Structure 1
Amino acid sequence: MFTVSHGPVMFTVSHGPVMFTVSHGPVMFTVSHGPVMFTVSHGPVMFTVSHGPVMFTVSHGPVMFTVSHGPVMFTVSHGPVMFTASHGPVMFTVSNGPVMFTVSHGPVMFTVSNGPVMFTVSHGSVMFTVSHGPVMFTVSHGPVMFTVSNGPVMFTVSLHCHSQHTHDSESSQVPSFFSILCCKILNNMFSLCH
């Protein structure tokens, strides 16, 4: 069940129930192998969806992305966006700026707004927010929660965390090193802003 209005459209649907709406712009896409429900409006869009349930909305800007192998729920609005999501549940929102990122192998929840951002997240649970400034960073191998705002920041975090607490000196130094690194970055950042 679908509706197409107000623009040239070329698409293919196969191997599963599909419900979608396309309006106000040229659209080219392919849907296969799974239930899909989405809406596309107000801009040129090119994307592919395969192998899993997907629910998303795209509006107000050119967008190119691919979703595969897992449940995904996201929203993209107000800016050019290029991203890929694979191998795990993902929920995120992107708005008000150019963004390029990749998410793989783990549950991830994040928000990006008001500035150019380029980052990669892999192999672990991650929750973070980035706003108001150019940011480039990489996070891998462990649970991480942090916030970056109001300034240019570039850093890398790599953690090997276990579910059980250990008294090993090397493993116990990792969280404190990460905390000190984040505190130094944020202190320097806010000192430049004030």
Structure 2
Amino acid sequence: MLMHQLGYSAIGIYCSALRTLPVRNPALMSALRQCLSKMKQKTIFVCQECGAKSPKWVGQCPECNKWNTMVEELVSSIPSPSNRRRLVNDSYDQPKPISSIETIDQERLKSGIEEFDRVLGGGAVPGSVILIGGDPGIGKSTLLLQVLDRLTQNYGKTLYVSGEESARQIKL
């Protein structure tokens, strides 16, 4: 995965003590959709002459019979909104001026790891997704497991989701 090669990890935080949070958080749903779309990409081959598509590479286009015109492209395999249940209300997707958005003071989830909480502006915002970047092997997973351990102690159950590591690697 490209994110793994660049040294990025993503973490989503859910605490059982905060079940009252709206599941339809538009920013969270948007971030999750983007992550899922990157994870569920597949390759197709498209003819540069006529636009014909093929699931595998062929030397000769089956439509226009031109040779060596098929080029690899990535496409998302997530169904279109008309073919799947909508995850969020359409009103969330409508643009609005930033000045019209009401702000509320929201209690942050404090991990107790001072520098981590400081970087996040006083702790993690409930329902947020946090992207952690750094070179491979620098300790991203170790830090996140420590944070989740503290959040579990303070708020209840947490969930660690990783697209990069096996369950055995996480347990180590």
TM superposition score normalised by structure 2: 0.22
Using CA pairs under 8 Å that are at least 6 residues apart, name the structure with larger relative contact order, 1 or 2. Answer: 2
Bigger strand share: 1
Bigger helix share: 2
Could you say which structure has the larger radius of gyration? 2
